[in-house]
Chains A and B, each alone.
Chain A
Amino acid sequence: MSSLTSPTQTDPSTSPTPTDPTATLVALSSLDFLLIELVPMAYRITQDLALRDEEWSSGSTQTARRDVEGSSSVSGIAVSGGSVSGTSTSLTSGGANTATGGLTATATATATVDEEEAREAVFHRLESLGYRVGLGIVERISRNTPRPTTPLDTIKFLCKDLWTLLFRKQIDNLKTNHRGIYVLTDNTFKPLTRMSFDTRRFPAAAADATTLLGGGDPNSLARVQPFLYFPAGLIRGCLASLGIQATVQAECTGLPGATFQIRTVGAKA
């Protein structure tokens, strides 16, 4: 259907050669599905991690006691990053760092993860996934484009090239205060176009799904929020790769529109 190659490039000297191994064709819908499926997956993983953590920390109190006597199987517990204290503290911190990276920091804290914390962990997971994708994708699509010389150029590149590649359309509106803050508005943000609110009263059976995706009022816009974490991370990754350190905040004020606020480091409000 569409490839990663921008269809406007017809010049044989700029378009990738047939031997370019990165020019593979993928069904366009797969990205849509992926963006939708990512969110429940992130929730599941966070939940699983929290459960496992609970198991580990309840189990580790016994094993830790055994360690004081034997101190042989320290490495096994170290990976858990749980509440092993005393003799094996140094090993615990070292093991947690290498095993599961920064994510444990958000996921471990308590055995019973409350909603706020779960939200944070999911946000962190999705955002960093998007960040990594952004880093890679920009390397690929910027290979035949002119070098952006100013930050505004870079943002425009994002609005046009990246958005066309990912969502088959350009950003609808770009506002800037010329001091490092950019607001991108997409009136029909593709991942949100399939979403709809139930106008009837929500059946009780669906309450589980509601709490899974952020809780609260089933018709609240907060339920959309998790689906914007990944695109926000993607933007941040792209900018970082092009040399702009920034924080990106995404929000939805009404389906299917989305706004992304980009605040570059050192920006003045």
Chain B
Amino acid sequence: MTGRVPSIACIGVIGKHNNPLHISLFPAEERAPLEFQFLLSSCLDIFEARLPHKPVDQDFGLLQAVDERLAMYGWLTNTGIKFIIVVDMEGRPATALDSKAATAVGLRDADLKPAFRALQTAYIMLLRNPFYNPDEHSPVTANSENRVGSTQITSRKFTQEVKRIADTWAPGVTTI
């Protein structure tokens, strides 16, 4: 289909223990949360399987594509945090600003790199906040303290930054 360009449909931040730290959908009202949770879950095994072949790089590239539209890209930090970006190949209508190349050719793995880098920076900034305690967001601590409820990230700044990344990203964008 012409006239539509890829956009980010979902950004997932998954913790060390495969616990969801943050999931954002774009646009939130048009996406089914459960469907994307399944998609994110289905990526976790791919990380495991590829890990031995990835001694240096944090970029896992294309993890899988479920259909014509949705494709998942992954990134694993040295500290075990997984970033997953689900790209919708027909996410939004093309505007005059989009180059012809972006609409014609498919995505390259390198196209996602800036988005992942920005995500990682956002996560580092979150950890620089002294009031954010990573252990509070781990299911291990939550279980040992018999805490109920979500262990997801509640920082508004982080959520906004994730949204900004998703909005800014487009194929060919080099800095976010």
The interface of chain A, by Cβ under 8 A from chain B, is: 17, 19-22, 132, 135-136, 138-140, 142-143, 145-149, 241-243
By secondary structure, the B interface counts as loop
- A20 and B121 within 8 A (CB): yes
On chain B, the residues within 8 Å of A147 by CB distance are: 54-56, 58, 78
On chain B, the residues within 8 Å of A135 by CB distance are: 127, 134-135
Which A residue's beta carbon lies closest to that of B120? A143
Q: Which of B16, B120, B124, B128 has the most CB of A within 10 A?
A: B124
Q: How far is the CB of A151 from chain B (nearest CB, A)?
A: 14
Residue from A19, A20, A149, A242 in contact with B79 in the complex, judged by beta carbons closer than 8 Å = A242
Mark B101-124 against chain A: 1 for CB-CB distance below 8 A, else 0.
000000000000000000011011
- B79 and A22 within 8 A (CB): no
- B77 and A143 within 8 A (CB): yes
Listed A/B pairs (30) with beta-carbon separation below 8 Å? A17-B175, A21-B125, A22-B121, A22-B124, A22-B125, A132-B130, A132-B133, A135-B127, A135-B134, A135-B135, A136-B127, A136-B128, A138-B79, A139-B81, A140-B124, A140-B127, A142-B77, A142-B79, A143-B58, A143-B77, A143-B78, A143-B124, A145-B78, A146-B55, A147-B55, A149-B55, A241-B79, A242-B80, A243-B16, A243-B80
Q: How far is the CB of A8 from chain B (nearest CB, A)?
A: 17
Given contacts A135-B127, A140-B128, A242-B79, 15 further A-B contacts (CB under 8 A): A17-B175, A22-B121, A22-B124, A132-B133, A139-B77, A139-B127, A143-B58, A143-B77, A145-B78, A147-B55, A147-B58, A147-B78, A148-B78, A242-B80, A243-B79
Category for how many chain B residues contact A: 20 to 34
The interface of chain B, by Cβ under 8 A from chain A, is: 16, 54-56, 58, 77-81, 120-121, 123-125, 127-128, 130, 133-135, 175
On chain A, the residues within 8 Å of B56 by CB distance are: 146-147
Q: How far is the CB of B29 from chain A (nearest CB, A)?
A: 31
- A139 and B124 within 8 A (CB): yes
Bound-state Cα–Cα, A262 to B79, Å: 19
Bound-state Cα–Cα, A147 to B80, Å: 10
Q: How far is the CB of A186 from chain B (nearest CB, A)?
A: 23
- B54 and A22 within 8 A (CB): no
- Enumerate the 6 nearest inter-chain pairs by beta-carbon distance, A residue then B residue, closest first: A142-B78, A136-B127, A146-B56, A241-B79, A139-B127, A147-B78
Which B residue's beta carbon lies closest to that of A154? B78
Q: How far is the CB of B109 from chain A (nearest CB, A)?
A: 15
Q: How far is the CB of A228 from chain B (nearest CB, A)?
A: 22
Bound-state Cα–Cα, A242 to B80, Å: 7
- B78 and A242 within 8 A (CB): yes
Residue from A139, A148, A149 in contact with B123 in the complex, judged by beta carbons closer than 8 Å = A139
Which B residue's beta carbon lies closest to that of A240? B135
Q: How far is the CB of B75 from chain A (nearest CB, A)?
A: 11
Q: Which of B58, B123, B127, B135 has the most CB of A within 10 A?
A: B127
On chain A, the residues within 8 Å of B123 by CB distance are: 139
On chain B, the residues within 8 Å of A242 by CB distance are: 78-80
Bound-state Cα–Cα, A22 to B78, Å: 18
On chain A, the residues within 8 Å of B55 by CB distance are: 146-147, 149
Q: How far is the CB of A257 from chain B (nearest CB, A)?
A: 30
Which A residue's beta carbon lies closest to that of B122? A21
Bound-state Cα–Cα, A146 to B77, Å: 10
On chain B, the residues within 8 Å of A19 by CB distance are: 175
- A22 and B133 within 8 A (CB): no
Bound-state Cα–Cα, A259 to B56, Å: 30
Bound-state Cα–Cα, A146 to B16, Å: 18
On chain A, the residues within 8 Å of B16 by CB distance are: 243
On chain A, the residues within 8 Å of B133 by CB distance are: 132
On chain A, the residues within 8 Å of B124 by CB distance are: 22, 136, 139-140, 143
Bound-state Cα–Cα, A243 to B51, Å: 15
On chain A, the residues within 8 Å of B127 by CB distance are: 135-136, 139-140
